[in-house]
Amino acid sequence: MKNHRLFNLIVAIVLLVMVGLTIREAAATTIVITQADAPSQSSVACADLPSRYSIRSEYVPAMDAWVIVTEDGPTGMDGGLIQLMLDYRTCSR
């Protein structure tokens, strides 16, 4: 009889944990969806983006490397060009 009650207690605890995790994930999903729907304040203004045709690579002798630049200057390091392309994609929607 004691084993039967212990088993039922373990099943009840596992069910409570599963329900708790499900509620947490549902809340997190809701937060992500509402943030995606709301206009972000950090979004780039599409009119401020440099022309796509101004993207080119230039050799910089001081760095002894090729750098991707636009009409506004270098695109930056650590994914600056990738971010610029993502901004273009966001503006084209």
What was the pLDDT predicted at 63? 83
pLDDT digit string, tens, across residues 52-89: 788 888 888 988 888 888 887 777 766 677 777 777 77
In terms of domains, do 65 and 28 share one?
A: no
In terms of domains, do 25 and 9 share one?
A: yes
In terms of domains, do 31 and 9 share one?
A: yes
* Bigger pLDDT: 5 vs 86: 5
Q: How many domains does the chain have?
A: 2
In terms of domains, do 50 and 26 share one?
A: no
In terms of domains, do 56 and 34 share one?
A: no
Residue span of the structural domain in which 54 resides: 46-91
* Cβ-contact 80, 74 below 8 angstroms: yes
pLDDT digit string, tens, across residues 9-49: 999 999 999 999 999 998 888 887 776 665 554 455 777 77
pTM for the full model?
0.41
In terms of domains, do 68 and 33 share one?
A: no
In terms of domains, do 34 and 12 share one?
A: yes
In terms of domains, do 54 and 80 share one?
A: yes
Task: Tell me how far apart the alpha carbons of residues 17 and 11 are, in angstroms, rounded to a whole number.
Answer: 10
Task: Tell me how far apart the alpha carbons of residues 35 and 29 are, in angstroms, rounded to a whole number.
Answer: 10
Contacts of 84 (CB under 8 A, 6+ apart): 49, 50, 55, 70, 75
In terms of domains, do 78 and 51 share one?
A: yes
In terms of domains, do 50 and 69 share one?
A: yes
Tell me if residue 6 falls in helix, strand or coil: helix
* DSSP H stretches of helix in the chain: 2-37, 80-91
Tell me if residue 93 falls in helix, strand or coil: coil
